[in-house]
Structure formats: C-alpha cells, structure tokens
Structure 1
Amino acid sequence: MQCDYFDAGVCRSCTAMGVPYARQLAAKQARVADLLGAHQRLSWQEPHASVESGFRTKSTMVVAGAPESPTLGILDADGRGVDLSACGLLGPATAVAMPVLRDFIAEAGLRPYDVPRRTGELKYVHVVEAADGGLLVRFVLRSEGQVGRLRRALPRLRELLPVHVVSVNLLPEHKAVTSGDTEILLTEAGTLAMPVGDVTLHVAPGAFVQTNGAVAAALYRQAGGWIDAELGRGPLGRAVAEPTRRAPGRPETASVLDLYCGVGGFALHAAGPGRAVHGVEISEQAVASARRSAAEAGVAATFDRGDATDYALSLTSPPDLVIVNPPRRGLSARLAAWLESCGVGAVVYSSCNPVTLARDLAAMPTLEPVRARLFDMFPQTDHVEVLTLLRRR
C-alpha cells in the first residue's frame, strides 16, 4: 500500500507502511509463534489475512484547527492538527464521510478544541460504518455548550450522509482519553445494525466493536467452530468430530461463559441448541446491544453488566467452556488464577496483545494451548489478534 501522508512524513502511525503485505504477515506470525514457543504441542493454522486498505469499520479522529477550517486526524508534536480525512485505511463509507464531516463541522460552527491552549469544544469524532453504508457518528465535546447547535444542524447532516445514529459524548477533563461518561443521543435510533459473521450486532455509541469488520467475522466464525468441536455439537445441534469428554453426572446442556463479551460477537456465535451461553461486560451500552442482538436472532444467550473477574470468582461451579477477550493489558492475575484452578475443561482466548497472552498462558499451566490462529486486524502495523484454544491437561 502507498500512502501520501506517510511519504510526506506527516503521519507515521502505520509503522509497516511500504513493506510488502506478505512480508508483514509472515513477520507477525513469526513474532507471535516465538512468543508462544514454550508450548510445543500448539498447532498453528494459516494466518487469516486482511485486505491491505479500506478495512476500518470504526475510526476515531482528533478534531483540531480553526473553526472555519477544522482538521480531522491526529496532532503533531506541538499539538496542532494534521488532517487525515483521506486516510487509505478508512472503510468505504467512512472515507466518503470524513471530508463531509469536516465541512459540516465548519458549517455548523462547532469550535475545535485547542489542546495547547485548552480552549474550544469539539475534541473527537468517532465513526462506525455498517456493511450497507449506514453510519454511527459520535461527537465528543468538552461541555454541553454546543449540543444545541449540533442538534439544530442534525437535519443538514442527515441530508449529507446516511447517518443512522448520532450522539454527543461529554469529556470535560483535559486528559489523554477519547470519551467521557455522559452520552446524549440525538437520534431516535440508539444502535447501528452491523451484520458480522453469522449474526447482526447492534452497536451503541461507545460500545466496543472490532476495527476490521471482515476479519472480525472470520474470528468469530473460527471461535464458533472450535467451540462446536469442544462441546460435541454444531450450531444446529449436529454432532462434530472432537467433543470434550463430559464428566459423569454433568447435565446435557453445555454451559459457556463469555467474559469481556462486548456487544456479543463471540457469545452469539457460540450459541445453539443444548447450550447455555452467558456474557459479562462492564459497558452498560454493550450489554443492552448484545441483549437486543440475541433477541432478534432468537438464540439462547443472556448478558449481564459486571466486572469479568468479580463475576467469575462469584461462581460456585465452573462452566464447560470459557471465552475471554480482554483488553491489551490481558487477564487480571486473579482471573488467570481462577481459570487455572476452577476446573473448566476448555478456554477460547482472543488476544490483541501477544505479550500479555504469553504471560497469561504461563500463569495457567494446566490449561494447554492446542490450537492457535493469527487474525490480521491491523495491516500496515505490528498489531495482531491471536485466537487460542486451551484444553485442560
């Protein structure tokens, strides 16, 4: 992939830009295999590649510049805006939307936040796109001062773009985060419907969704296939080749616990006849979205808001299988210790940080990694997603 921003030296976020994609993928696979090299029985499947550009289904842009000529992108070393509204990684609908949003911000009179001077209002714009081109747009403001202005300009934005969901997030503090605690919905619709894999996810403003929708679909399907094999039946109740041995006296309904479940991508792909699937997630918006997706799909999956570690430690008996998809910091030491000692038969671990994945696997020696696959969510960078299946020794 060629990038004018990278060539001009104005953005170096994509550290692998210009490296042939086959070499990028091979280097990622070699690095992750080396980090997990202590697990000699681990069988690697072929890496799942991505398209090289136009893959981002969610994007966060810093808003800066002057009110009449805002920038959407990043900040330079002096805190000044660098416009990246034509970034080649943006998904097709987002690529169309970014320059329109930039002009809309100026037209609506929304004042960009000036980081060095700590003045202005509009800090970020978050955009999520669905496969049909529908958009979720989230404006992150310093205060409620410009909410009325944005609300009045909303009909114009809807004339310009296929926006299904628009919200304002309030971030009054001057700190290095991209959103605050208060969300103000400006549209009737509160979620964006996103078909991903075999289900439709409903994404609310602020709810976690994978950056690369096409690769996320493959990730969820791979996890679902491994889970079907471990539990001895497919998603439609079909027998499969490698069922996990069920202890005498265990009920026929298999229990699956999805920790850090987000909007339910893994849980919904794990659901099926003979399954009791339950997801736990700290985000209230994500739990509401997951419940709606499960209801519309007619699958037996339930969801609760809560801390993953606290919920797991409150259980009196282990589930048959646990799914974990933690943030970059990985599992807490308490959760890793619970997985090691609770007696769960299998764990599906999806990691966006192979360093913390290796650390967590070392903390769970009786759960043996047997299968793994790299999913390239982030071409042009060294970031990866790794899916690993662990079985009790």
Structure 2
Amino acid sequence: MRCSYFDAGECRSCTLMGRPYADQLAEKQRHCAGILDDPGIDWLPPVASAEDGYRNRAKMVVTGTVEAPRLGILGADGHGVDLTGCGVCSPGLRATFPVLSRFITTARLTPYDVPRRRGELKYLLLTESPDGRVMLRFVLRTDEALPRIRKHLATLLTELPQLAVVTANLQPEHKAVLEGEREIPLTDADSLRVRAGDVDLHVLPKSFFQTNTAIASALYRQGRDWIREVAPATVWDLYCGVGGFALHGAGPGRTVTGIEISPEAITAAERSRDAARLTGVSFVAGDATAYAVAAPTPPDLVVVNPPRRGIGPELSGWLETSGVRHVIYSSCYAPSLGRDLAAMPSLRPRKARLLDMFPQTRHYEVITLLERG
C-alpha cells in the first residue's frame, strides 16, 4: 500500500507504510514469538487483514476555519493536517468526510484552535458497522453550538442516511483528553449494532470497540473455539468491554460472567445478550482485579483482554495461586503479555495466534491459551 500523506511526511502514524504486507506480517510474527520465547507453544497461522480500508473508527481532529474546516490530525506546530483521504479508513467513513465538512460550515461550528485555546468543535468521532451504518459524535467545548447542530441535523441525516446514531460529547478542558463525561443524544437511537463474529454487539457512544471488525471477529471466534475445546462449566471474562468474548463463550450448561469497569460498556453487553437471548451470561460493572481477588471461588477458565499495560502483578499473582486451570489471554501489546506470563509460571502458553489488527503499523493482537502445568 502507498500513501501520499506518508510519502509527503504529513502523517507518519502508519510506520510500516510502503513495506510489502507479507513482510510486515512475518516481522510481527517473529517479534511476538521472540517475546513469548517458549518452544512448547503451538503457533496457529497468523490471521491477515485487508491492507487498506480496514479501520471502522476515525478520530478526526477538527481545525481550520468555519468556512474551510480541516479534518485529520494535529501537526507538530499544533495546526491541522487534512487526512480525509486516509487509505486505512474504510471507504464508508471516507465518504462521510466531505459532507461533514460542509455541515461544519452550514451549522457555523467553529473549529477549536489548540494554540489559542479558542473555538468549539474539537473532534468528529465516527464508528462504522459492517453493514455501513455509522455512529457520529461531535466533541464540543461547550453546549453553545447545540442549537445550530439540532437545527441542521435533519438535512445532515438526509445527506448521510447511513447515520444511525448522532451524539454530542462535551469536553471543556484544554488537555489531551479525548472526551468528557457528558454525552447528549441527538437521535432516537443511542447504540450502533455491529456484527462481530457470531453475535450482534450493541456499541454505545463511549464504549470501546476494536478498530478492525474483521479481525475482531476472528479474535472472538478463536476464543470461542478454545472455550469449546476446554469445555469449562464456569467462565469469567475480565476486562470484558462490550462483551465480545463473554457472548461467544456462552453454551449449554455454562455460566459466563463478564466484568468491566465501564458501566456504559456493561449496559451495551447486556443489550447484546438480551437481543441474542443468551442464557447463563451475566455482567458486572467493577474492577476486574478487585472482583477476582474478592470472589470466594475461582472459575474453571478466565479470559483476560486488558488494555496495553496488561493485567499487572496483583491479578497475575492471583491467577498464579488461584488454581484456575485455563486462561485465555488476548493482548494488544506483547511486552506486557510477556511480563504477565513471567509472573504466573504455573500457567504455560499451550497455543497462540497472532491477528493483525493494525496493518501498516507495528501493532498487532495476540491471543494465547494458557494451561496450568
């Protein structure tokens, strides 16, 4: 894949841009295997992604002026770089950008000037489902622009009928925080239905969802296959997010519990469970480590899908001494996975698979099946 923004030095986010994709995938496999460094691991073939158009989410910084807005990223000087032609964004997302630029002008939404700390509209956050429906979030400094957004929203929905959910998020602070606490719905629908693997996930505005739906589906199905292979009676999905692993782990006679710190994510997971009419699956809003440590008895299998920092020493220590027979660990950062594995030597990686969630970059997802030795 070639990228004019990368070649011109305007955006270097995709650090592997221009390298043959087969070489990228092989390098990631070598990197991950070198970190885990266990000859006993049965490595399944890596799961490749589409090289371009794979991103289902876009975080567009809004800069420029009302008359000539720019959607993209901030340059080193604090001013905007237009990235509306970004090739890793899905074609469906790219199709919205010209219409949204015109809407900014029509609704007189003043882009936020970072160096001067002036303006209203900070970001446009977009998520697309596989069937082409889109969630749009306006991140604003205050609610001053809301009447104008509402006034012209009907026209926007006519021009972009794929917009299923529109909200405004208020983030008044001048700091590197993407969104604020207050989310204001602007459409009747407040969640985006995303088919991922075997289930429809109901993604709410502030819920985390994977950037690459095709690879997320493969990830959830791999977790499902290993759960079926092990056949546990009880499963915990720690850091469950909107419930991808927990919902795929449901089965006859099995009790599955998902734990996630975000109440909104738990609400989304419960909607997905109810829509799928799954039984034996429950969700709890709370800290994953605190939940595990306080529980009177451990489950047969634990799924962990932590953020980049990993699960940390306390949860690793609990897993090491808990007696849990199997752990499925899904990691977006192999070095933290390596540290966590070193802290629980009784749980050895038996199988592993790399999934290329982020082509053109050095990042990837790896999922491992751990078994107590």
Q: Normalising by structure 2, what TM-score?
A: 0.98
Aligned to 1:27: 27
| 1:124 alignment partner AA | Y
**Among 238, 259, 270, which residue is 1:280 paired with?**
259
Q: Does residue 383 of the first structure (1) align with residue 367 of the second (2)?
A: no
Q: Does residue 318 of the first structure (1) align with residue 298 of the second (2)?
A: yes
Q: How does 1:3-42 map to 2 (within 5 A)?
A: 3-37=3-37, 39-42=38-41
Per-residue deviation, 1:92: 2.3
Per-residue deviation, 1:334: 1.1
Per-residue deviation, 1:335: 1.1
Per-residue deviation, 1:332: 2.5
Aligned to 1:242: none
Aligned to 1:136: 135
Structure 1, unaligned runs of 5 or more: 233-253
Q: Does residue 127 of the first structure (1) align with residue 107 of the second (2)?
A: no
Aligned to 1:67: 66
Contact 1:207 1:285 in 2 (8 A): yes
Contact 1:62 1:73 in 2 (8 A): yes
Cα distance in 1 between the residues matched to 2:153 and 2:295: 47
Cα distance in 1 between the residues matched to 2:63 and 2:133: 25
Cα distance in 1 between the residues matched to 2:173 and 2:316: 34
| 1:359 alignment partner AA | R
Q: How does 1:191-206 map to 2 (within 5 A)?
A: 191-206=191-206
- Cα RMSD (Å): 1.0
What is the DSSP-based 3-state SS (H/G/I as helix, E as strand, rest coil) of the residue aligned with 1:52? coil
Contact 1:86 1:99 in 2 (8 A): no
Number of corresponding residues: 371
Q: Does residue 110 of the first structure (1) align with residue 109 of the second (2)?
A: yes
Contact 1:74 1:83 in 2 (8 A): yes
| 1:62 alignment partner AA | V
Contact 1:202 1:263 in 2 (8 A): yes
**Among 247, 252, 272, which residue is 1:293 paired with?**
272
Per-residue deviation, 1:99: 2.0
| 2:332 alignment partner AA | C
Aligned to 2:223: 223
Q: Does residue 363 of the first structure (1) align with residue 343 of the second (2)?
A: yes
| 2:298 alignment partner AA | P
| 1:373 alignment partner AA | R
Structure 1 residue runs of 4 or more that deviate by more than 3 Å after TM superposition: none
| 1:264 alignment partner AA | G
Contact 1:309 1:332 in 2 (8 A): no
Q: Deviations over 1:304-337 (max 9, x none)?
A: 1111111111101000111111000111221111
Q: Deviations over 1:1-49 (max 9, x none)?
A: 0111111111111000000000000000000100111x23111111100
Aligned to 1:306: 286
Contact 1:197 1:221 in 2 (8 A): yes
Q: Does residue 148 of the first structure (1) align with residue 147 of the second (2)?
A: yes
Q: How does 1:80-95 map to 2 (within 5 A)?
A: 80-95=79-94
Cα distance in 2 between the residues matched to 1:312 and 1:98: 44
**Among 239, 259, 266, which residue is 2:238 paired with?**
259
Structure 2, unaligned runs of 5 or more: none
Cα distance in 2 between the residues matched to 1:19 and 1:347: 35
Cα distance in 2 between the residues matched to 1:153 and 1:340: 57
Cα distance in 1 between the residues matched to 2:290 and 2:140: 33
| 1:293 alignment partner AA | S
What is the DSSP-based 3-state SS (H/G/I as helix, E as strand, rest coil) of the residue aligned with 1:144? coil
| 1:322 alignment partner AA | V
Per-residue deviation, 1:194: 0.7
Cα distance in 2 between the residues matched to 1:322 and 1:91: 34
Q: Deviations over 1:336-361 (max 9, x none)?
A: 11111111111101000001010000
Contact 1:104 1:157 in 2 (8 A): yes
Cα distance in 1 between the residues matched to 2:197 and 2:107: 37
Contact 1:113 1:119 in 2 (8 A): yes
Aligned to 2:318: 338
Cα distance in 2 between the residues matched to 1:361 and 1:136: 37
What is the DSSP-based 3-state SS (H/G/I as helix, E as strand, rest coil) of the residue aligned with 1:102? helix
Cα distance in 2 between the residues matched to 1:206 and 1:289: 10
